[in-house]
Amino acid sequence: MRRHTGHFGPTDPCGRMFRDTGILPVATWAGSLRVFGVPEGRDECSPALQCWDARPFHDSASPEGTAEAEGGVSAVPSGLGAIGPTVNPALKRGATFMPARGGHPEPTRIVHRRACHENAKTWAGRPCHNSGRSAFTLVELMVVITVLTILIASVVKVSTVVLRNGEIRQTQAVMRNLDLAIEQFRTDSPLGNLSEYKNRYGGYPCDELEPFIKTDGIPTKPPLPPVPKFIGPGRDSDLQLPASGLNGVDQKDIKAMALAIRLYSSEGGAILDRIDAKYRRPAPLPEFFDRNTTTGSKTEPDTDDVPLVTFVDAWGQPFEYYAVSHGDKSVDTPAPSDTGGRRLKTAQFLIGQNRGRPVLVSYGPDGKDQFSADFWEAGQKVDLVADYHAADGPKMDMGDIDHRLNLDNVYLDDGLKERLGQPAQP
């Protein structure tokens, strides 16, 4: 018997390569490979049919030249392999053998391209595996799903943190421009010769609209001066408000700050103009400063009038501004719109913590929910004023900004957050 040379060709039913000595199995019957010459009932995967262990043909006259070779495949009559491609007449139609080197063909079994069945048959004592991919088990699927879930959750968490940090940086950029305009107003000191104004607001833009109303003026400690300290430029100027007066105006603090800068500091106003329009919100009519009440409309501003405007953070919520100083006892008088002086006391506390400078604050990512009625506590929103006057938070006493909804507030100065006992911004 000739030994195999190590050449590899087609595979057997178990997926292993045929090894032959130059003989190439060819199938022309029904376009598929099939074991020919297998007795009826013989399985193609049985150990008796080892595709790469075929015996060589021998002369029919020799002792090995039997009419049927091992495994039930008939041998080719003597001499046929020496004259070219030969067909064993004992085989079924379509099984063609190519001559081997030396002219002696070897019967290489031709097998069906179908792999062995799923019932784990063996080939020569070894498991006969399916040629296709096996399916995932339930445990494997659960492991894959768990890993994907963890990865997705990690990506979402990281993306959320990155997005939030970006919004905080945008908010602080707007706050820096506002702070530049505030400092420019203080440098220009347009109202420095008005002691009532300087004592109450420290030379910074005011955070109350009363000084722009003729009948109110700067809130001062009784006894009131004979004439209210009105700071509007021009004798005929005045602040136009809705019929409900200041009680119907929201964000009075940030509107007062922007109005003071617009009226008295051209350079400060130019800084405000550099702030992107998406961070500005015009006040509803008829909220505007009328430079001349004797002419024009009282419900819509003329070209020289100054509309009120609100500035918002990256989440679309208005900033808050606190400027009332605590350096003079005369400022203990709250503005008429400050019921009970709650905002006055909060402003004095914040400015004291900020070392005498005004305070700008954003309510952070949860600001929208914080001012929603669904999140109000005891029937009121949880802003800095309510937090300062409420006995809540970890200290459970008044005089602190420590409510859980205020812990993510954004300030321009991280040092102020630390002094307020709040966690530092990322």
Mean pLDDT, residues 247-272 taken together = 95
105 shares its domain with 192: no
DSSP H or E run through 166: helix 138-188
- Check whether residue 101 and residue 224 sit in a common domain: no
User: Do 216 and 91 belong to one domain?
Assistant: no
pLDDT at residue 128 in the model: 53
Residue where a domain stops, chosen among 131, 164, 197: 131
Q: CA separation (Å) from 165 to 170, 217, 329, 369? A: 9, 41, 41, 19
- Report the C-alpha gap between 203 and 205 in whole angstroms: 7
With respect to residue 4, please indicate whether it lies within any of the assigned structural domains.
yes
Same domain assignment for residues 127 and 180: no
DSSP class of residue 204 equals S
What percentage of residues in the chain have a pLDDT greater than 70?
Answer: 62
> Can you give the C-alpha Rg of the chain in angstroms?
47
Question: By C-alpha distance, which of 234, 412, 414 is closest to 320?
Answer: 412
- How many CA atoms lie less than 13 Å away from 338 in the CB half-sphere? 22
- pLDDT tens by residue, 321-341: 999 876 555 567 888 888 888
- Residues 99 and 178 occupy one common structural domain: no
pLDDT at position 333 is 84
> What is the DSSP secondary-structure string of 97-151?
BPPPTTS----PPP--SSPPPTTT-EETTEE---SSPPPPPHHHHHHHHHHHHHH
- Whether residue 310 contacts residue 254, with contact meaning beta carbons closer than 8 Å, is answered with yes
Higher model confidence: residue 21 or residue 219? 219
Q: Indicate whether 159 belongs to any domain.
A: no
The residue out of 76, 109, 131 marking a domain boundary is 131
Whether 99 is in a domain gets the answer yes
Q: What is the mean pLDDT of the chain?
A: 74
pLDDT for res 380? 66
283 and 342 together in one domain: yes
Let me know whether 241 and 335 are in one domain: yes
Is a pLDDT exceeding 50 seen at residue 398? yes
Which residue, 171, 165, 166, is CA-closest to 318?
171
Alpha-carbon gap, residue 323 to 204, rounded angstroms: 7
The pLDDT of residue 164 is 86
pLDDT band at 319 (very low <50, low <70, confident <90, very high): very high
Please check whether residues 114 and 240 belong to one and the same domain: no
Q: Is 184's pLDDT higher than 70?
A: yes
The reply to whether 111 falls in a domain is yes
pLDDT per residue as tens digits for the range 14-47: 555 544 444 444 443 334 344 444 444 444 444 4
* pLDDT score, position 116: 45
pLDDT in tens, 233-252: 888 899 999 988 898 899 99
Residues 222 and 125 in one domain: no
pLDDT over threshold 60, residue 286: yes
Task: Mark whether 224 and 350 lie in a shared domain.
Answer: yes
- Residue 6 in domain: yes
Are the C-beta atoms of residues 17 and 92 closer than 8 Å to each other? no
Average the pLDDT over 51-58 and give the result.
41
Of 131, 159, 194, the residue at which a domain comes to its end is 131
What domain range includes position 188?
173-419
User: Does the pLDDT value for residue 426 go beyond 80?
Assistant: no
Same domain, 123 and 223: no
Whether the pLDDT of residue 349 is over 80: the answer is yes
Contact 197, 230 (CB under 8 A): no
- Total number of domains constituting the chain: 2
Residue 362 scores a pLDDT above 60: yes
Span 80-107, pLDDT tens digits? 443 444 444 444 444 444 444 455 444 4
- Beta carbons within 8 Å of 68's beta carbon, 6+ residues apart: 74, 75, 90
Same domain flag for 177 and 308? yes
* DSSP3 helix / strand / coil % (the chain, rounded to 5): 30, 10, 55
What gap in Å lies between CA 200 and CA 322, rounded to an integer?
12
* Inside any domain, residue 145: no
Q: Is 11 part of a structural domain of the chain? A: yes
Q: Other CB atoms closer than 10 Å to residue 345's CB: what's the count?
A: 20
In a domain, 154, yes or no: no
What is the tens place of the pLDDT at every residue in 134-146? 678 999 999 999 9
